[in-house]
Amino acid sequence: MNYELLIARNMPWIFYLILRVSVVFISVRNVRRNGKSLFFGVVSQICLLAGQRLR
């Protein structure tokens, strides 16, 4: 399997994933003040997006 080709093909998806993780990290930091319901909302949102991307 050619990993360089695989990474090059999936680069936008990898970038999107990194972007998502950073957004979540920022949200989690804010959530400590705002409560856990927001965190679970963010997690469910990501699960939905991930499901859409995989399909």
Q: What is the pLDDT of residues 24-47, one digit of tens each?
A: 887 777 666 666 666 677 777 887
The pLDDT score that the predictor gives to residue 21 is 86
Give, in order, the Cα–Cα distances in Å from 43 to each of 19, 21, 40: 14, 11, 5
pTM: 0.40
Q: Is the pLDDT of residue 49 over 70?
A: yes
Tokens 């950073």 — which residue?
Answer: 22
Residue spans of the domains in the chain: they are 15-54
d(CA 4, CA 51): 25
Token pair, residue 16, equals: 């999107």
